[in-house]
A = this chain, B = another copy of it.
Amino acid sequence: MLHEEVVGRIRAILLDGEIPPGARIPERELCERLEISRTPLREALKVLAAEGLVQLLPHRGSRAAKLTDKDMRDLFEVCQGLEALAGELACERITDAEIDEIAAAHAAMVLHYRDGDLIQYYRGNRAIHEAIVTAAGNPVLAGLYTSVTARIRRARYVTPMTPQRWALAVKEHDAILNALQRRDGAGLSHILRAHLRHKREEVLQAGFAETEGTDLTLRIA
């Protein structure tokens, strides 16, 4: 198994919440499960620690990082900045074909909204945001975006929504698509910020400071 694959698999385990925030990461156990020895596992943990997903305590092992409200706020703030930038750049560089793809994804997402299928809605939502970042044509930006969103993913995409908020989010997405189609960078940037600000408020209101026992089951309000 390649180094990057090890990192990826552990990242997935953490993001799935299989090892909940704050819990110790059982080295020996993970080694057996991934069928690798401690050396490559520990290399991966150091990388994930640099990413902020793992917390290393000298001589006391590693734990799945726990996010405080402040961390969450900070991450959302940065995420806003990155998406705003991505929106501007995307408007300069996006091709017609890419816009069409996003429009299609948008339409599909709206259908999921109509169906009240929050999981599929979130999935489509995420794909759209990622497509915009990709369209920005800046791999450095894309990399940072991936790493920042990974850390808030569980909060962002597993927060219950009221019908009002959900309706607002869909309306914002209409505006996002519209700005993209008009290639209105400033406008898109502005809408994306507002969209994320609202999302952040939802998440923080939901009291999302991660603790050992944070329940991450998807609930629909």
Classify chain A's interface size. 20 to 34
User: Which of B44, B58, B74, B138 has a CB less than 8 Å from the CB of A140?
Assistant: B74
Whole-angstrom distance from the CB of A16 to the nearest CB of chain B?
Answer: 21
A3 touches B75 (CB 8 A): no
Q: Answer whether residue A71 sits at the interface, using C-beta atoms and an 8 A cutoff.
A: yes
User: Which of B71, B74, B81, B139 has a CB less than 8 Å from the CB of A81?
Assistant: B81
B85 touches A3 (CB 8 A): no
Max chain B CB contacts within 10 Å: which of A42, A56, A85? Answer: A85
A residues 33-81 near B (Cβ < 8 Å) are 39, 42-44, 46-47, 50-52, 56, 58, 71, 74-75, 77-78, 80-81
Known: A78-B85, A81-B84, A144-B148. 11 other contacts (CB 8 A): A3-B46, A3-B56, A46-B46, A47-B47, A52-B140, A71-B140, A74-B141, A77-B141, A78-B138, A84-B85, A144-B144
